A and B are shown apart, each in its own frame.
Chain A
């Protein structure tokens, strides 16, 4: 938005009278130290990822398994009320955390079946029928002395050729539909225009 200041002198004087502040001396040192700390942390994180992994001997798992198999000594825990309260709070927090985690990670999934009529009129792929003629025009253009207009036309045609290839490849993957064929038709119309301009240069 353009702004025409009617009282320019007043505005300039007011701006000049605004107080100026300089940052504290230690500010840049603090920023530098902070950045250095971040770099060190990053290196540390990278180093931890590169640490070698070792599998424990089977005896370790057996011992853990044996310990787990033993009955937990619940009675001792309840004999200390402090531990009991802490354990209860921990249990509640764990349940809430687990609920939050599971509610995000799972969700619901279902498979539905129905039938419908699909209009496939004009889905036959006739868009490659003139490729030989287009290639012939391009090969004739290649023999002409280069000029700015021709190279611009060639660049445009290459871009459209690439777009056509991407689009037809996607139709092979996902199947054809009216929207895709409409887009392809538009690309073909633009290609036709360029080929006609190229032919006019021959």
Chain B
């Protein structure tokens, strides 16, 4: 009996010792400075955002106004510390000529050379604007969700998650060390991605993508017009409802390529090990897909309706 109890205790000790992490939660005081501002929208205006550690949400409405809500947030177990460090976070929301500048940054504390806050700091932007308002967003160490824009959008994102939904128009994205997740995208898209993963659902229009070191999943619909993808050291999946009705120009070097069995195409291999394939369906109109893959893998598959 004593032996069994000792064994049980030992087992319990082993269980505790081998659990890698024990959940730790702490109670924190949250101090939020909320700024609300509205700008009149006129044709030619652009919203220009530079966020740092910011969660940016951009949505549209019918009004000819640009509404900006900025929340500067500091969290710390001690309220006084949270309040003190909140003051280190500065913001700017100002119109200069036809640009509406929105910024946040950390300032140095008085008497100190470099700010060293103790609190957890973050920023949240909620921007509501007309669909036709052009937007430029630069974001580092944060996240952004952008929906329903129809004009020009430029995004430069680093170490951030970027979500796009229901976008039209000319879109230019640069992402580094991030994730790009898109849904219902139709327009002229130009994407440069490095060390980022891309998942784009229900895409149509024209896409030009350059990617290195990423996992790329593209789900096209029938209205895809053009896709040019240059992927290096990346895993690529391209899905289309009718992959046999697409014109392909594929170029692979040091890569595995898997095509649908219904696609009767023959590879041409050069002396340098580069393989090429071109295929045109027997139709008057068809989307053109041009993919160059280097040291990666490419899968072309039929898209199954969800």
Contact = CB atoms under 8 A, between A and B. Distances in A.
A2 B141 contact: no
Interface of B: 21-40, 52-53, 68, 75, 79, 86, 93-95, 106, 115-117, 119-122, 140-141, 143, 159, 161, 177, 195, 213, 225-226, 247, 280, 284-288
A109 B34 contact: yes
A104 B21 CA distance: 50
A166 B140 CA distance: 10
A115 B33 contact: no
Nearest to A6: B284
6 tightest Cβ-Cβ pairs between the two chains A and B: A107-B37, A175-B120, A112-B32, A174-B53, A174-B121, A1-B225
A74 interface: no
Contact of B79 (A113, A118, A119): A113
A100 B226 CA distance: 46
B31 A120 contact: no
B282 to A, nearest CB: 10
A62 B285 CA distance: 81
A55 interface: no
Interface of B (DSSP majority class):
strand
A79 interface: no
A110 interface: yes
30 contacts: A1-B285, A1-B286, A1-B287, A2-B280, A106-B37, A108-B36, A109-B34, A112-B34, A115-B29, A116-B27, A116-B28, A116-B75, A117-B25, A117-B28, A118-B27, A119-B23, A119-B24, A121-B23, A122-B21, A123-B24, A163-B159, A163-B195, A170-B141, A170-B159, A173-B116, A174-B106, A174-B121, A180-B159, A187-B177, A190-B213
Given A2-B286, A107-B93, A113-B79, A179 B28 contact: no
B141 A112 contact: no
A13 to B, nearest CB: 21
B36 A111 contact: no
